[in-house]
Amino acid sequence: MMMPASELICRRGHDEEAAGYPSYNKPQTKPLLPWLIRYVMGEQRLAFAFLGMAIASLLFLLLLHNSSPSSSTTTTSSSVAHLAAVGLASRHLPAVPVNRLGGPTGRVPLGLKRKGLRVVVTGGAGFVGSHLVDRLLARGDSVIVVDNLFTGRKENLAHHAGHPRLEMIRHDVVQPILLEVDQIYHLACPASPVHYKHNPVKTIKTNVVGTLNMLGLAKRVGARFLLTSTSEVYGDPLQHPQVETYWGNVNPIGVRSCYDEGKRTAETLTMDYHRGANLEVRIARIFNTYGPRMCIDDGRVVSNFVAQALRKEPLTVYGDGKQTRSFQYVSDLVEGLMKLMEGEHVGPFNLGNPGEFTMLELAKVVQDTIDPNARIEFRPNTADDPHKRKPDISRAKELLGWEPKVSLRDGLPLMVQDFRNRIFSDQKTN
């Protein structure tokens, strides 16, 4: 007699279980805890787990310690207390820099110096530019001098020959140049009447096209740009002394306009890049400057008088000699330029010595310094020669903390010694 199929299947499964075969009709379960212990203990998994937890705990404690404002406050307070105990607390203690969370910023490890900047100085082989290069190298920066040597001289940088952080490129800024730099001091332009009247079209191209090229470079590489403008932007001023808000009285078609209007346009371009391209810029308006390395025959009054007195020639005074100028020593100017570049104010800033001298008074100082018997010779005045020139430097004093320190009677002998060496060494050579 045959059994029903359902009863046969049930009986077969029953027999298989009895024989020790697993049943596939119900799920097989293993005890979880013994299996987990065997898994963790196998192949050193437990050791790796403890090691990972230890590393994570150590990192967490370090981060917590560094970000804790209380630790830095406690350290600073204990340091001040210690200084007070030994009698040094009266000294000025620098503020401890803090980050946004209130904790101290990262400290510079001992032995590491300030990272030098990469700085371009156009016109760096000239009178002012070479003194600026001296200061930048002494500070630890790497300097690229760009100069076409129209008025600059290689001799002005000869004492840096072989310097590992100085590079000299003979190049005219009227042509574009590609460099990777952090700061640009744009000094390139003939600054004396003799030189800028020699080729007025080239002078205004240097002021306009050259400034455009250097502004474009600054924009391309994100460099801070400083323009050295001039007191000549005030022209023959109707306001005395001249403040930065004075717009000037300039003859746009006169023989000096290639320089005067060129610098005014350079200021315009600089401010347009600042407003339109968000470029970091600085503008300095430089007043009469003197010192070693000036061109001997550049037509400027101080170099004229010094060279003439040394050569036993008459001191040539143009007009009635009552025109006034203000004379600053070159080291004071360089200090002002660097403070302006490193500061947070765009400008323009007057950089000059407010001490005012007539041409006759200047001639007397030169006589006293070089030759009391030097004659004075009067000649007709030149076109568009300003009658008065004196800077108001209140803004530079307040915002830059700058003012000139070297008087004319202290600085002039240093210039005289340099001129004497160069003039008489040239005569010996000839």
Query: Quick one: 352 exposed, middle or buried, by C-beta within 10 A (0-12, 13-18, 19+)?
Result: buried
What is the C-alpha separation between 317 and 315, in angstroms, rounded? Answer: 6
What is the C-alpha separation between 27 and 303, in angstroms, rounded? Answer: 108
Helices vs. strands in the chain: H and E counts, helices first: 14, 13
Query: Among residues 259, 273, 290, 329, which one is catalytic?
Result: 259
Q: Indicate if 259 belongs to the active site.
A: yes
| Contact predicate 260/250, CB 8 Å | yes
Query: Quick one: 375 exposed, middle or buried, by C-beta within 10 A (0-12, 13-18, 19+)?
Result: middle
Closest CA to 126 of 292, 325, 303, 305: 292
Q: Are strands 376-379 and 118-122 parallel, antiparallel or unpaired?
A: unpaired
Please, which residues have CB within 8 angstroms of residue 211's CB and are 6 or more apart in sequence?
Answer: 173, 186, 227, 265, 266, 269, 270
What is the C-alpha separation between 253 and 247, in angstroms, rounded? Answer: 17
Q: Among the residues of 170-284, which ranges form H helices?
A: 193-196, 200-205, 211-221, 257-277
H or E segment at 128? helix 127-139
| Contact predicate 297/194, CB 8 Å | yes
Radius of gyration of the chain (CA): 38
Closest CA to 265 of 231, 229, 234: 229
Active site residues: 259
